[in-house]
Structure formats: structure tokens, C-alpha cells
Structure 1
Amino acid sequence: MKRLLIGAAVGALMLPATATFAQQMHTFDDGHQHECMDEACTVFSLFPSVGQDPAGSGWKGTDAPRYGTWGFDLAARDLSVAPGDDFFRYANGLAFDQIEIPGDRTSYGSFALLRELSDNRLKVMIDTLVADPSLAAGTDERKIADLYRSYMDTDRIEALDAQPLQPYLAAIRAVDSHDAMAVYMGGTQGRFGSSFFGIGIGDDAKDPDRYITYASQSGLGLPNRSYYLDERYADKKELYLAYVERMLTMIGWENPAETAQQIVDLESQIAEAHWTPEQNRNRDETYNPFTPAELASAAPGFDWAGYLNAAGLGGIERLVVRQDTALPKIAQIFADAPMPVLQAWQAFHTVDDMAPYLSQRFSDAQWEFRGRDLSGQPEQRARDKRAVSFSEGVMGEAFGRIYVAEYFPAESKAMMEELVANLRVALAGRIRQLDWMGEETKEQALYKLDNFTVKIGYPNKWRDYSAMEVRADDLVGNVERAGAFRWQYQLGRMDGPVDRDEWGMTPQTVNAYYNSTKNEIVFPAAILQPPFFDPHADPAVNYGAIGGVIGHEIGHGFDDQGRKSDGDGVLRDWWTAADAERFEARAEMLGEQYGTYEPLPGYPVRPALTMGENIGDLAGITLGLAAYQLSLDGEEAPILDGTTGTQRVFLGWAQVWNSKYRDEALKNQVATDPHSPAQFRVIGPVRNLDAWYEAFNVQPGDKYYLTPEERVRLW
């Protein structure tokens, strides 16, 4: 099953790409693609409080890192570089040079460090639970322990080998018609397998009090269409072909070499029909309501009624199609494909989906392609680390309930509430003073800002897992039951009101997000730690770091797509035509800047793909600085170790993005990720702020100098 990112614009520090059913259960290896800010870090040697486990297990400590004496590591700077030539290196260069990307990761930085910290804490929880023989059956704690046990039971997993796969392969071989295959694809919701189309349930972007079904393009085994059609990724396509052949050989499928080529050729046709990532960002173009009958008429060749019925959605009266011109083409490709090719395609995607839960020969084969060849990851993560990620992926909120009780102090939430309030005041003042926006639009913008919901730390209510069965001796069964539980949860919401208390991330997630249909900004507990937030740090650093994060998420409500929803979360045009035109002109200027950035030769940033996050970053540091200046209440900021308050705001922003990537990870990011690479999340926004030029004496002739007329001024 393919996971569908649906409905509302959801802006975060980093964003999950479409994932397989298996990937819904846990975070694979690096987990590089996210929707929020998930990027920066530095090696453990820079943070003495996070020491190596003396037992040599590879697990590290559970204490949050510290940076310098007042929240910024002055020794991280490369003072040989002028701020205007490369502010990323000026702020982080020496620390960046010391970063060693662990062998089981494709990048490393502040986000990765805190993700490891969360994992270490989760491992302590799991070890405690596994060692407790008194846990009652059916409790969340017992289920967590049994999930971990099932993943670590390698003797049983090796003994079973491919046996759990056989019922699926038999069912696929029994599919004898295109209509039957459409029904089979619908049934992959909540179980292993895949479909040419994605389906999901989410808030209705034009009626946010209701849930609605969304249908989307799918059917690819590579990250997106670029990997099939762009010559820069031709080597990855060849490696994929070899991987498909390898998996077909392992399951005993006939003519594996010839069949693998047919599968890749089929997916290449689908890729031609797919919308680009840039097109998929357009919230107006991706909201296309249909009745099921209208969809069947518009996209013939695929049994939509059978597909929806098999997914448990046979009774729906309408759905929203995201790529309305792509789905008819994909349906025709499906109709034209020979049944043996469709069967082989489904068999390959099923084993690819199930591989992490099968014997080592399957899990290694998948990692060697998806981790090593595709993403440049030299080593596979240790099994106990994968087991933690798996268990947490299945019962994330159960972990979260334990996590916040142990690791999230109440004073952190109180301080965050104050920071958010200050950022909102700062933006309100700036909106009132905008010279490019008229009064009518300003009134609507202020209404939207006033109606932001803020969620900090953890949800008000926790997910109930009592209906989900977990067995310590049945890994594949646990994955199947977890998938069915999740899908039934989604189906059960269809006729009820939208749950506005629900969270899209767990408390132990190092990230943050904005949801347009709920008009909410959400900050999980795990990101509220250094370098993002430190209650003992200088306020300027906090305003640049977590203040920038808050401003980033608020900014998503006013980026090129988030701005399309009003203060009640309704997707509608609340802008005057003149104000919209002026906004778009400024956004285009920003895009032109980002189009010149090239993290690797021949792989420039795609400004239309990254526009929302770039606007979010510009809003983040702008509002963080403005809120800090308001917090001074007219007083002079202190000088700390020769740095001014304004300088420390910018340094705090830069520090959170200190991260290093393997080349293959950067290539993937450019093709698929709505976030710009880390160094340009530092350089790109700051060069548009007058205060940066004044604080660091940036002059004409410096590499990233912009004249005042060239600087983009949005929020």
C-alpha cells in the first residue's frame, strides 16, 4: 500500500515522502525525507554530555546536548570566512568540518542528533519493559515489549524465511483479470502490496469540519518520476532494474530478467503520466471533486467501484482527485498492461514491502538497494535500532505518553507558549505595516493569525491501541494487524466530525508542522531541546533558533500555498487580485534567488518545489528577530563574548542547520524534497534582511550581497 499525503497543505521543518505500507510501520534507516526542518547536527565529540555507551552497544546517552556557555558554540565558527561570502560556514564551518556521518546514515546534523537522542530514550523505555515480567497482557506497555521482541526474534524469522510471503504470492497468481487486479489493489489498504493509485482520508480542504477521501497518482518503486525520466538518475534506474530482477529471482518468479525489464518499462510509462513535484504543490490544481461514477467515466479502464469497495470505501458519495489529468492516463496504462506483467509488478512490490520483516536475505537485499545504492548509506542500521524504530512506528503515541512524563518539563511548555505569543505579536505588527498589502487583505490576514491553534509538547488525549493485537512471536502478523488497525481507524472517522485534538506527529518526533485545514502550528516535545530551545540559553539564541522554527511554521500559513486557506481553514481566495499579484511578484524574486543555488554541480535547487519552505524560512528568521527586538522593550541587548543580540539571533538560526549530507542524499533531496539543502536554509533567508547586513557589515562585493532593491520583503 502507498501512503498518501492528502488534503491540507502541511508545512514542516521536513516532510515525509509517499511511503510503502512497510514504511508506515517504522522509519527506515536514515529516514531522510520529512516535511519539516529535520536536518542539522554535529558529531558527538562536540557534545561531551552525549557520551559513547561504555558497554559498546552503539547506543549513546539520554541527556540533551549543550552548546557553549549561552546556547551557541563560538568554537564552531570559521572566522576565516566573511559572513557575506558564506554565512553558513562563518557560523558553523569548523564544527561542520568535524562532522562524521555515521555509516548507517546518509546525513548528520542537529536533527539527526536529537533523533538519536529520542531513539536512545525509547530504547531505555523498551529495555525496562522487556525486562518486566509483570506486564499485564493487553496493556500498551506489554504490546510495546512484544513488538520489540517480535522484531528481535531472528531465529524464528530466519526459520520462516519466505513462508509469510507465500499466501500473498498465491493470491496474486490467482488474480485472473484486470477488474480482479483493481479489487486486489483496493485491498492493499492496511496490508502488504501496492496500487497504481493512492487513496487516503483527510480533512476536506474546502469543508474542514468534514473528512473526505483523496485519490492520488502512485505506482512507482523509485522516489519520483525524475528517477525514470531524468538522465541524471539513469544509474539509479539501472540499479533499480537489477534490484527488481534480484527480488523476482528470490521469490522464484518466472523469467526474472525479462519480467524485471517489463516492470521498469511499465513504471516508466506511469512516471510519464505523473505530475511533477512542483505541480503537486498547487493546492488549487490538486482539489478536484468527483463522484465515484464521474471518476469511473473520466478514468476508464480501471474498476473504480471494485477498488473503492475493496478498500472499505464503497459507500462514499464523493472524493477529491489530486492529479485529475494523470489518473486517466494511468488507468489506461493499467488497462493496456498484460495481466502477467501486472501480476509480476504486484509480486515485486509485495516482497519489497515485506522485505524488512522477512529473513536476512530479503532485508539485506532491500537495504542494499534502497539504503546503499539509492541513498548512499554505507552500512545498515543495527537490528536493535531498527526494532526500536519499528515498535515506535506502530505505537507512537503510547511511547509518547511515557516520553513526556520522563523528558518534557512543564516549564518548557510554558516558555514556548510565551515565545509563540511574542512571535504572533511580531507578525501582527508587521502585517499592519506592510506597504504592499491593502487593508481588506490585511484584515483577513490578521483574522487568520488570531485564529491560529497552537499545540505544544503532546496531545490532550492519547491514541487508544486496545483493539490492536500484538504477539511476541509473530512479526509479519504484527505488521499486518497494525496496518489493518490504522486503516480501520481512518475508515471509522469518515462519518464523524474532524478531530481537532489529533496530532500528526508524536511527542518524540524532532520536527514541527503547520496544518492549513486546522490552521494550527504544532511543536512536539522532542524538538524543544538544544540547539532549538534551551531554557538556559541567551534569549537571542532562542529567538533565532526555536523562534525561527515558530516563525517558520506560522509563515507556512502565509506561504505560496498555505495562504490559500483562510482563518477558518477553508481553501478559498481571500486576497484581492492586486495584493495576490504583488505577493506572487515577491515570491518569484525569491525563487530566482534560490534557482542560483547548487549544492552539487549539476543539481541546482528547484525553486518551484521549495518555494513554500523557502518562504517559511524567510518568515522564520524575520519574525524571530522581530520578536526578539520587541522583547527588549527598548533596552539595549547585552554584548556576550563580543557578539551583539542581533548577531546572536542570526547565529542561533544558523546553528540549527549545521548538517552534512552524502552526495546521493543531496541528489535525492533536490529531486524530491520541498526543503532546500541546509546551507541555503541559512544563506537564503538572511541575505534578504537589512539587519543581517548591518550586524555583520556585509558589503557590496561579498558573494551573497543583495542591493536593497533586490532583497525580498514578504512578512
Structure 2
Amino acid sequence: MKRSLICAAVLTLAASATCSTSSLAQTPQPAVGAVASAPQVSGIDTHNADLAVRPQDDFYSYVNGAWLKKTEIPADKSSWDAFYEVVEHTLDQLHSIVDAVSADKNLAPGSNQQKIADLYASYMNEPVLETLGIKPLDAEFARVDALTEKQQIPGLIAHLNSIGVTAPYALSIHQDAKDSSKVIADIGQSGLGLPDRDYYLKAGDAKLKNTLVKYQTHVAAMLTLTGDKAANKNAAAIVALETRLAKVQWTEVQNRDPIKVYNPVPLAQLPALAPHVNWAGYLDDAGLKDKVTYLVVSQPSFIKGLDKVLQDTPLSVWKAYFKWHVLSSYASDLSNEYVDQNFSFKGTVLRGVPQNEPRWKRGISVIENSMGEGLGQLYVEQFFPPENKARMEKLVANLIAAYHQSIDNLDWMSADSKKEAQKKLSTLMLKIGYPDKWRDYSTLVIKHDDLVGNVMRSNAFEYTRNINKLGKPVDRSEWGDTPQTVNAYYNPEFNEIVFPAAILQAPFFNANADDAVNYGGIGAVIGHEISHGFDDQGSQYDEIGNLRDWMSKQDHQNFAVKTKALVKQYGAYSAISGYKVNGELTLGENIADNSGLAIAYKAYHLSLDGKTPPVIDGFTGDQRLYLGWAQVWRGKVRDAQAIVYVKTDPHSPPRFRGNGTVVNQPGFYSAFGVKPGDKMYLPPEQRIIMW
């Protein structure tokens, strides 16, 4: 189970700007006797601020108001924020790497560079793709057409899982949640063409209902392009089948419970769970035979429900469904008529994006998804200075020290639980920048003129790489993200926090800035990730990654009082008109935001070692910390994408990550003189303090 800070990896080099002291007319002035120092960079981009807004009334708009007014979401994006700004910068860096590799005529055959160049060329060669049309999928369509009985369907699902095609259930390979020394196989619900079950089931929601109608039209249009004479009929049958699957799926909130989704089933008992599924055929074709003695079934009731759907649905409908998902999964790698129709729905209808990204960016994404660490190795060599890693390690040390102190002072945790928490914190593994060993792509076959084949082989390569982990010791050095991913995460099964190189850029981390803004940015991000080890999910895992509840029942009850209040606070916010934030779905991330910022504040003060921080650009150290936090969350989202996020994203919208967090921070009130009557004011008894 990987916990992520960001839902989509998306790159800012926010230039530091100076700010006149007049911008602080509504904030407390520095204390008399503040230590003077040589001029330093604040790291706060005041060009983005709206100084007409009082920080005591709307801190997010005070920090980001000018940016919100002047910034338009790019035509090829569903949202735009600080993360995307950094992603765009990183894409330019990756583009320069790929262009240089592609121009090199002396690449060693079989090297990562040669494979990257050939993979990129296979995507960029549009004339070849236009000539091929749908032909690259002919073999997969023939495989589906060859089905003669439903007993063959599980074997087909195994194959589709291996090449990255959506199917009714998906296989994942990871640690056993209750024995972190073992690697196990896990099957979980899947199979929908829309982002969430609600798109099929919320008939009373006009926007979701309209999207479902347009989805069926899209399916028919895509099938028509392939020459399907019964495209409309098949599209209706496919949507009806997906609707049945949606009815038996678990909700996103249900899937947050690590106990409920841990259901080991011995292989001999699988037929009792779903008697009409050919489990022997599935295990054989999935490469699991003789490698596992049980499967973890994440949602047993879904598999039971699928059994009935499998039994009741005609084979002809299943064939249409599988061919559709092969087409949908690979549409972006075909000729432009498929690419354009695919984008018109997935991009424009579903997410509100007017136009597709430039082809070169999509080409970089193909490399990222196929040979991510191969590209990452080249990225780190050129763009990640070792001094960034050293400074991060020092900052993390202060954050962990702050957590050690805070654990001892928690009002909701008992003495015995505090001992367990300290042990877990002491064994936390930190990964910064890039892995110690790089992935070996020597067996991956990449051809200069075979895009679909390259993508299929890379998916199969990754599938086989994971299957081969079964029966072997857990490799705790492995990374879940590439170095060029703008993201950070906590993995409870490894008890680790991971910070890829690409996130260590402004506004998250500014190597040229005073420490305060970095504690408010990357420091709070680090604190956020560490807190996942102690939130409502992560606290159920111990220091070595086993699903073992080490907190007392009373501790859980005490914590639940705080989390219930947090659910209520965020559940009152509106993402867009008619769509409230799901306080239960976003609970873990809201806990982490509040905890991370509180710890960053404490760690910053530890780093000062009793010294008074300098005033820079008219801002005190504490002010710069909170300003650094809010500028990280500047962002705008298209309405259609906002609905997708409300249904599927465990993170709150940007405005509420900025404002919803600081209203619970005592340090914010003193830094900006927030008082009763101010719109950002909450009485002390209403502030939700986790750490």
C-alpha cells in the first residue's frame, strides 16, 4: 500500500522575489531586538500575492490571489498548480536528455540510451502509425475472438493484466500486510471505463448521468472506427456490463481500511468464493501456479458479485467488453483518428481539457511509463546536485527530532503506545533523490518502429519483474516512484518515506532561500509523509511494516474524536457548486497536512537553536514558514476534473489544503495576529491539533 502526497505526478522554478515592508501593514512587526544579518533570499514569490486581501481573513488568497487572477489553466491541462509548474520544468529537462540521446549516432546496442531513443522514435513517427491504423491490435482482438467458453475468460484476464489492459480484476504484487518478510499476490476490483462507480450509479446527479451517456456514445464511436458493424449495440451492452460491475464494487472510503481489504484466501478455497471462475486457468496463465499458496482478495464481495455477473452475461457481450478495453487502453498509441476520439472523451468530456498535450510530451510519458528508471538515471546525472540531498538530510533530522519530542507530549496517546510510536519513528527509512541501485532493462525488447509492441512488452516486462519477486526476500531498497516524479510518499509496508529528486525544487525546496520557507514547503511535506505512519491507516502497521495494531483501544478512541472533527471541518468545504469535499475519503491526507505543518513549525524552531531568525523582505521567520506552506498549494482546477477529484482523490482541493490547515495551527495566529472577528479565526477549543 503506497501513500502518496500527490495524485498525479505533474514540475516550478518559482523565482524568488523581494517584498517591501509595506506589504506587512496588516501583520505584526518584527520583535524589537531581532538579530540583524546579511541580506538573504526569502523564497516567497510576492508577485503572486494579493495584498488587498487581509491574511487574517483569507490567507490562501493573500498569498496566491494575484496568481489566481492572472493564471489561466493551459489548454492541454485539466488543472494547473505549483506541482504542474515543476513538472513542466522537469519535462523540459527530460526533453533535452531525450533529444540528445536521439541525436547520438554512437549509442551502444542494447544500452538504456539506445532503447530510450528507439522508444521515443516509435512514438514520434506519425507516418508509420497512420499507415498501421488499428493493425497493431489485430492479434489481441483475435485472442478475444478465439474465446469459445467462459471458462477461458480468467486466462484472458491474466493476459490482459500482464499487458496493462483494464479487466474486471487486477493483480498486484507486494508485501504480505501481516508478514512483511513475504511477497504476496493480491487481486482487487477493476474493470470500469469511468473513474469511479458513482458515474454509473448516481442517476440523480445530472452531471454524472450526462457523462455516462457521453461515455456510451464515445464507446460506439471508437468501435465504429475499428469497423464494428454493431457498434451502437455493443456500446450499450458494454456500459450495461460495467454498470453491473460498478454495483458490486466497494467505495473509495471502504477501500481505505487496510483490515477490510486484507483477506487471504487459500487457493483451494477460491472456488467457494466464486465457483464459476476458472481459478486453475487464471493461476496458470497469470504465472502464479506453484508460486503462491493463497491470494489476498481485497474485496471478497466484489469477487462473489463478479461470479454472478460472469454467469449471467453472454459470452458475446464479454467479447465486446474485452475488445473495447484493449482498444481503450492502447488508443493513445494508435493513429490520430483513435488518439483524437480517445482524447475528446477522456480529456475534454471527462476532465474538461480543450486540447491534447504536444506530441513530444506524450512521448516522454511513454518513456516514463516504460523505462522510468532508465530515464531517471540520466536525469539524476545532469540535474540533481548532491548538495541538495545533504541539505535535505539535515532538514529531515530536525523533523524527526520534532516528532520524537511531540510523541512524548501527545494528549491522545498512552505511555505504552508512545513507546511503540517512538520505536516506529526510530526505524523509519528515508529515501532521498534516487535509488541506490537502478532497474535492469537488459531483457526488455524495444524496436524502432513498433510503438504498440514496445508498450505491450514494457508492460509485460514490469508484470514479469513483479511476479518474479514471489518466493524471494523482500527488496526494501526498491522505489515506487522514479527520480523525475514530482511526488513524495509514505509506504507503511516498508515504514519508509520517499522523496524523488524532482520534488526538491522551488517552491517546495529552494536551495538559495533561507530555511524558513523550506520548512514551510518541503519540511511540511516531509512531516506530512512521516505522519502517515501514525494516522488512522498507518497506525495499524508496526515498525517493520506488519499490519499489527500497536495503539490501545482508548488511544484510537481519543484519536477518533479529533478525526471526527476533521471530517466535519473539511466536509463543510465545497470543491465546486453542488460537490462537497468528502471528509472521510480525504481524512488521511487532511491529518497529514495538519500534522506535517505543525511538525515543520516545531522543527524550524529546533533548527534555530534559540537564535532569533532574521527578518527578510519584511517577513519574520514564522511568517515566511506559513507563506511557504500556502504558496505550495496555489492551484486551479476545471469543473469536470474537480468532480473526478471529489469522487476519487484522497486529497482536499488546493484552497483547503492552504487555508483549512493553517486555521488549526496556533503558530499561525501569533505570526499574523489573527484575532476574534477575523475570518480565519477559530476559537482555541475548535482548533484540531493532532501533533
Normalised to the residue count of structure 2, the TM-score between the two structures is 0.94
Residues 42 and 658 in structure 1, CA contact (< 8 A), matched pair in contact too: no
1:463 aligned to 2:439? Answer: yes
Alignment match of 1:116 (pick from 68, 88, 101): 88
Q: Secondary structure at the match of 1:212?
A: strand
1:498 and 1:164 map into 2 onto residues whose CA distance is 37
Offset at residue 42 of structure 1 (A): 9.5
Say if 2:500 is the partner of 1:508: no
Q: Which residue of 2 aligns with 1:354?
A: 330
AA partner of residue 626 (structure 1): K
User: Once superposed, which parts of structure 1, at least 4 consecutive aligned residues long, lie more than 4 Å away?
Assistant: 40-47
Partner of 1:607: 583
689-698 or 514-523: bigger deviation: 689-698
Residue of structure 2 equivalent to 1:402: 378
User: Equivalent residue of 2:534, what SS?
Assistant: coil
Structure 2: which amino acid aligns with 1:342?
W
Give distance in 1, aligned partners of 2:17 and 2:171.
45
Q: Which residue pairs with 1:596 in the alignment? A: 572
Listed one character per residue, the Cα deviations across residues 511-536 of structure 1 (whole Å, up to 9, x for unaligned) are: 11100010000000011111111121
* Contact 1:11/1:613 (<8 A) preserved: no
Following superposition, the deviation at residue 46 of structure 1 comes to 9.8
Match of 1:534, SS?
A: coil
1:249: how far off? 1.3
Could you tell me how far apart the structure 1 residues matched to 2:3 and 2:53 are? 33
Which amino acid in 2 is paired with 1:685? Answer: T
1:690 to 662, 666, 688: 666
Instruction: Provide, for residues 19-43 of structure 1, a one-character-per-residue CA deviation record: whole Å limited to 9, x for no partner.
Output: xxxxxxxxxxxxxx46xxx6x9699
- Out of 70, 73, 76, the residue aligned to residue 42 of structure 2 is 70
Partner of 2:139: 167
Provide Cα deviations, 1:377-427, integer angstroms capped at 9, x if missing partner.
Answer: 111111111111111221111111111111111110000000111000001
Query: Which deviates more from structure 2 when the two are superposed, residues 518-527 or residues 179-188?
Result: 179-188
Which of 335, 344, 364 is the matching residue for 2:340? 364
Equivalent AA in structure 2 for residue 250 of structure 1: L
Instruction: Within 5 Å, give how 1:489-504 maps onto structure 2.
Output: 489-504=465-480
For residues 321 and 497 of structure 1, what CA distance do their matches in structure 2 show? 22
RMSD of aligned Cα (Å): 1.7
1:313 aligns with 2:305: no
The one of 259, 262, 271 equivalent to 1:284 is 259
Q: Does 1:14 align with 2:9?
A: no
Say whether the 8 Å CA contact 2:181–2:474 is kept in structure 1: yes
Residue type of the alignment partner of 1:102? P
* Number of the residue aligned with 1:203: 175
For residue 325 of structure 1, give the secondary structure of its aligned residue in structure 2: helix
* Amino acid in structure 2 at the alignment position of 1:695: A
Which residue of structure 1 aligns with residue 544 of structure 2? 568
Partner of 2:157: 185
2:403/2:599 contact within 8 Å kept: yes
Checking the alignment, whether the CA contact within 8 Å between 1:41 and 1:656 is kept in structure 2 is: no
SS in structure 1 of the partner of residue 187 of structure 2: strand
Q: CA deviation at 1:96?
A: 2.0
Pick the aligned partner of 1:255 from 230, 233, 244.
230
- Kindly indicate whether the alpha-carbon contact (under 8 Å) linking 1:158 and 1:360 is maintained by their aligned counterparts in 2: yes
3-state SS of paired residue (2:174): strand
- Larger deviation, residues 138-147 vs 634-643: 634-643
- Amino acid across the alignment from 2:42: W
Q: Give the AA of the match of 1:480.
A: M
Q: Which residue of 1 aligns with 2:509?
A: 533
Within 5 Å, give how 1:23-172 maps onto structure 2: 33=8, 69-172=41-144
Instruction: Give yes or no for contact 2:267–2:295 (8 Å, CA) kept in 1.
Output: yes
What is the rounded CA distance, in whole Å, between the counterparts of 1:241 and 1:229 in structure 2?
15
Counterpart position of 1:381: 357
Q: In structure 2, do the counterparts of structure 1 residues 501 and 192 end up closer, same or farther at CA, with 3 Å as the change threshold?
A: closer
**C-alpha displacement of 1:645:** 1.1
Whether the 8 Å CA contact 1:123–1:388 is kept in 2: the answer is yes
**1:488 Cα offset (Å):** 1.0
Q: Secondary structure at the match of 1:245?
A: helix
Report the Cα offset of residue 300 of structure 1. 2.3
Task: State the match for 1:709 in structure 2.
Answer: 685
Letter in 2 for 1:638: P
Residue of structure 1 equivalent to 2:605: 629
Cα deviation for residue 164 of structure 1 reads 1.2
Conserved 8 A contact 1:188-1:311: no
Measure the CA separation in 2 of the matches of 1:300 and 1:686: 53
In the alignment, which of 204, 210, 216 is matched to residue 235 of structure 1? 210
Question: Alpha-carbon deviations, 1:498-518, whole Å to 9, x = none?
Answer: 111100001111111100010
Q: For residue 59 of structure 1, what is the aligned residue in structure 2?
A: none
| Per-residue deviation, 1:621 | 0.7
**Residue 248 of structure 2 is aligned to residue 273 of structure 1:** yes
Counterpart Cα distance in 1 of 2:107 and 2:355: 35
**Which amino acid in structure 1 is aligned with residue 158 of structure 2?**
G
Alignment pair present for 1:667 and 2:667? no
Q: Which aligned pairs between 1:440-455 and structure 2 lie closer than 5 A?
A: 440-455=416-431
Q: 2-side partners of 1:42 and 1:400: how far apart?
A: 19
Alpha-carbon separation, structure 1, partners of 2:494 and 2:433: 17
Instruction: For residue 704 of structure 1, report the CA deviation from its aligned partner.
Output: 3.6
Shift of 1:705: 2.3
Look up the SS of the partner of 2:584 in the other structure. helix
In 2, Cα distance between equivalents of 1:42 and 1:266: 46
Q: Conserved in 2, the CA contact under 8 Å of 1:43 and 1:98?
A: no
Query: Any gaps of 5 or more consecutive residues in structure 2?
Result: 19-39
Q: Indicate conservation of the 8 Å contact 1:43/1:109, yes or no.
A: no
Q: Which residue of 1 aligns with 2:456?
A: 480
Aligned-residue offset at 1:82: 2.4
Pick one of 274, 286, 291 that aligns with 1:299: 274
Deviation at residue 699 of structure 1 after TM alignment = 2.2
Which range is displaced more, 635-644 or 511-520? 635-644
Identify the range of structure 1 (263-272 vs 459-468) with the bigger mean alpha-carbon deviation.
263-272
Q: Identify which range, 273-282 or 252-261, moves more after superposition.
A: 252-261
Asked if the contact 1:516–1:562 (Cα under 8 Å) also holds between the matched residues in 2, the reply is yes
Q: Partner residue of 1:219?
A: 191
Partner Cα separation in structure 2 for residue 586 and residue 121 of structure 1: 43
SS in 1 for 2:579: coil
- Taking the aligned partners of 2:63 and 2:198, their CA distance within structure 1 comes to 34
User: Is the partner of 2:659 in helix, strand or coil?
Assistant: helix
Alpha-carbon displacement from aligned partner over 1:595-615 (angstroms, at most 9, x marks no partner)? 001020111100111111111
Q: Please tell me the residue identity of whatever aligns with 1:12.
A: S
SS in 1 for 2:175: strand
Write the distance in 1 (CA, Å) between the matches of 2:512 and 2:125. Answer: 44
Deviation per CA, 1:74-103: give whole Å up to 9, x if none. Answer: 232222222233211011111221212111
Report which stretch shifted further, 209-218 or 629-638: 629-638
The secondary structure found in structure 1 opposite 2:406 is: helix
Aligned letter for 2:560?
Answer: E
2:29 alignment counterpart = none
- Residues 672 and 41 of structure 1: is their aligned pair in 2 closer, same or farther, counting only changes over 3 Å? farther
Worse-matched range after superposition: 611-620 or 181-190? 181-190
| Cα deviation, residue 314, structure 1 | 2.1
Deviation at 1:648, TM superposition (A): 0.8
Q: Return the offset for 1:677.
A: 0.6
Distance 2:387 2:138 in 1: 53
Distance 1:491 1:142, change over 3 A: same
Kept in 1, the 8 Å contact 2:433–2:500? The answer is yes
Identity %: 44
Shifted more, 299-308 versus 398-407: the winner is: 299-308
Q: CA deviation at 1:435?
A: 2.0
AA matched with 1:86 = D
